[in-house]
């Protein structure tokens, strides 16, 4: 089989380890940097792994799909996960326990029109990307500070849900689920390194919830960020297409197996 990695970083640990497994089994692995090509190659690979969220990467994936190539994840599913408004709407339609979300055209306009009230809020960039805005707002002073720094940023606003201060980072590759704990970036201490978590230590039903989320979003390789709001009650706060999934034993083998399965149709 020919497997192609659509990414500017083929040396990413998950991709590199999966590629090594595939090559050891006699398969051919290539990489394609969407920022360095003008169009999809004429000779298609058997399957493409889309680990790029740039406009060029998404356009390339759409062209590959138009020509009949299987792409993991699809361009449509990847694009949806970049828009936190659409993400929340889809999750709630699917009956998933997703954080209630309001959308504003700019942070400055929202800050000028609506006083905070008494409850803390979480403010995020509407469009998910590296170094985007994710912040807890407890008072008007903090809101003004953010509005001065990000005045034209389209944002989503969510009620802050009391929790333990730890995020459950759950990932899926096909039907395989992996888990880790990481201090929330909204915690006073700030986020830290993730530590792996055996699935047996998850509250009941959480692994199934991850798979339901993937089905609702039509994702093959994805992450779901969950917080425990008390007594194991989960709240989804984010969904990511093709995250890094670093340091998870078995993840490269799962990715290699999924690529081959999709290549075989």
Predicted confidence (pLDDT) per residue in 188-235, tens digit: 555 666 788 999 999 999 999 999 999 999 999 999 999 998 888 899
Confidence at residue 174, expressed as pLDDT on a 0 to 100 scale: 97
Cα 258 → chain centroid: 18
**Has residue 184 got a pLDDT over 90?**
no
pLDDT attached to residue 193 = 66
More confident residue, 192 or 77: 77
The arithmetic mean of pLDDT across residues 22-32, rounded, is 98
Which residues share a beta bridge with 238? 225
Decide: residue 256, CB within 10 A, 0-12 exposed, 13-18 middle, 19+ buried.
buried
Which residue did the predictor score with more confidence, 130 or 165?
A: 130
Query: For residue 84, what pLDDT is reported?
Result: 97
* pLDDT tier for residue 165 given thresholds of 50, 70 and 90: confident
Residue 115: pLDDT band (50, 70, 90) is low
Please state at what angle helix 84-93 crosses helix 206-217, rounded to 10 degrees: 110
Rounded to the nearest 10°, the torsion over CA 226, 165, 128, 209 is 0
Please give the C-alpha separations between residue 203 and each of 8, 199, 232, in angstroms, as whole numbers.
Answer: 37, 9, 5
Interaxial angle between packed helices 251-263 and 13-24, expressed in degrees from 0 to 180 and rounded to the nearest 10: 60
pLDDT at 185 over 80: no
> Residue 186 pLDDT > 90, yes or no?
no
pTM: 0.92
Residue of 23, 135, 160 whose CA lies nearest to 5 = 23
Q: Is the pLDDT of residue 187 over 70?
A: no
Query: DSSP labels for 18-69?
Result: HHHHHHHTT-EEEEE-TTS-SS--SS--SEEEE---SHHHHHHHHHHHHTT-
* Across 144-151, average pLDDT: 94
Residue 125 has phi, psi (to 5 degrees) of -55, 140
pLDDT interval class at 113 (50, 70, 90)? confident
Please check whether residue 155 is in contact with residue 125, taking contact to mean a CB–CB distance below 8 angstroms.
yes
Stretch 75-104: mean pLDDT: 96
What one-character-per-residue DSSP string does 67-133 give? TT--EES-HHHHHHTTBHHHHHHHHHHTT--BPPEEEES-HHHHHHH----SS-EEEEESB--TT--
pLDDT of 224 reads 97
Range with the poorest average pLDDT among 3-7, 233-237, 250-254:
233-237
Alpha-carbon distance of 241 to 234, in angstroms, equals: 20
d(C-alpha 121, C-alpha 112), whole Å:
16
pLDDT: which is higher, 128 or 163: 128
Q: What is the pLDDT of residue 75?
A: 98
Pairing label, strands 71-72, 47-50 = parallel
Beta bridge partners of 8: none
């Amino acid at each position: 089989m020919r497997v192609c990695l659509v990414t500017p970083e083929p040396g990413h640990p998950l991709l590199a380890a999966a590629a090594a497994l595939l090559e050891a089994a006699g398969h051919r692995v290539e990489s394609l940097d969407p920022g360095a090509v003008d169009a999809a190659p004429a000779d298609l690979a058997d399957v493409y792994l889309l680990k790029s969220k740039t406009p060029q990467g998404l356009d390339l994936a759409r062209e590959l799909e138009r020509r009949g190539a299987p792409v993991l994840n699809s361009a449509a599913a990847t694009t949806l996960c970049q828009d936190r408004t659409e993400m929340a709407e889809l999750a709630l339609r699917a009956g998933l326990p997703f954080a209630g979300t309001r959308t504003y055209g700019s942070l400055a306009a929202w800050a000028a029109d609506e006083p905070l009230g008494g409850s803390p809020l979480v403010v995020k960039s509407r469009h998910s990307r590296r170094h985007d805005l994710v912040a807890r707002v407890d008072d008007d002073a903090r809101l003004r500070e953010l509005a001065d720094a990000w005045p034209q940023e389209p944002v989503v606003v969510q009620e802050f849900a009391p929790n333990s201060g730890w995020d459950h980072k759950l990932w899926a590759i096909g039907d395989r689920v992996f888990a880790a704990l990481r201090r929330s970036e909204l915690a006073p201490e700030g986020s830290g390194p993730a530590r792996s978590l055996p699935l047996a230590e998850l509250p009941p039903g959480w692994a199934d919830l991850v798979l339901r989320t993937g089905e609702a979003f039509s994702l093959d390789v994805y992450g779901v960020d969950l917080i425990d709001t008390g007594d194991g009650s989960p709240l989804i706060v984010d969904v990511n297409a093709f995250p890094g999934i670093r340091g998870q034993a078995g993840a490269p083998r799962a990715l290699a197996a999924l690529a081959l399965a999709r290549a075989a149709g």
